[in-house]
Amino acid sequence: MRTATISRTTKETDISVSLTLDGTGAYQVTTGVGFLDHMLEQLARHSLIDITVRATGDTHIDAHHTTEDVGIALGQALKSALGDMTGITRYADCHLAMDEALTRCAMDVSGRPFLVWDVAFDRDKIGDFDTELFEEFFRAFAMNAGITLHVANLTGRNCHHIAETCFKAVARCLRKAVEADPRQSGRVPSTKGQLGG
């Protein structure tokens, strides 16, 4: 089983993340940040990665530290569960529609972290959640997972829909990119013979 558990404690947050790559999309998420919980549930359900997140943080200040640190821990857990990445599909892309919103995601599980974020929100908040934190989450996730991640919103007016298409598009790409490719069995999908270095 490709699984990992990461615990991360700072003066700002206390976080535990467990995941199973070959799961069913089961989730147990409690971060103290309602909208983040909702998005992480979407990430699990549509990637078919089982995800458990337990986080407490200084949300009396705002949701920044909790959101970023959950991204860090989730990325570290993904990287750990992938191991040397032998036999994975590696690449994936997706166009994800939700009503008027359409978001494109492309991913390379390469061991080389990079984020291109081309998503704009015309509101500062969705409920109590600062929309600028979506980029912070995905940057922390990509950098710590060691993936190249491109996310671009192509159309959309409703900020909730835009955010949700981002998480669902990333989820669908994760589902494809980390799954076993039977034609790559026993091989790392790179002419270098390794990923991440």
Tens-digit pLDDT profile for residues 157-183: 999 999 999 999 999 999 999 998 888
Any idea what DSSP says for residue 50? E
Kindly state whether residue 75 falls inside one of the protein's structural domains.
yes
Kindly state whether residue 56 falls inside one of the protein's structural domains.
yes
| Per-residue pLDDT at 188 | 72
Mean pLDDT of 144-167: 98
Please, which residues have CB within 8 angstroms of residue 6's CB and are 6 or more apart in sequence? Answer: 15, 16, 17, 18, 73, 74, 76, 77, 80
How many structural domains does the chain have?
1
Q: What is the mean pLDDT of the chain?
A: 94
pTM: 0.95
| Per-residue pLDDT at 87 | 84
12-33 pLDDT tens trace: 999 999 999 999 999 999 999 9
Kindly state whether residue 194 falls inside one of the protein's structural domains.
no
pLDDT surpasses 70 at 80: yes
The boundaries of the domain holding residue 107 are 3-184
| Per-residue pLDDT at 114 | 98
Kindly state whether residue 190 falls inside one of the protein's structural domains.
no
Kindly state whether residue 191 falls inside one of the protein's structural domains.
no
Q: Give the CATH number of the domain where residue 129 resides.
A: 3.30.230.40
Tokens for 21? 């790559």
Kindly state whether residue 196 falls inside one of the protein's structural domains.
no
pLDDT surpasses 60 at 86: yes
In whole angstroms, give the CA distance from residue 170 to residue 156.
Answer: 17
Is there a contact between 15 and 55 (Cβ–Cβ < 8 Å)? yes
Any idea what DSSP says for residue 88? B
Please, which residues have CB within 8 angstroms of residue 23's CB and are 6 or more apart in sequence? Answer: 44, 48, 49, 50
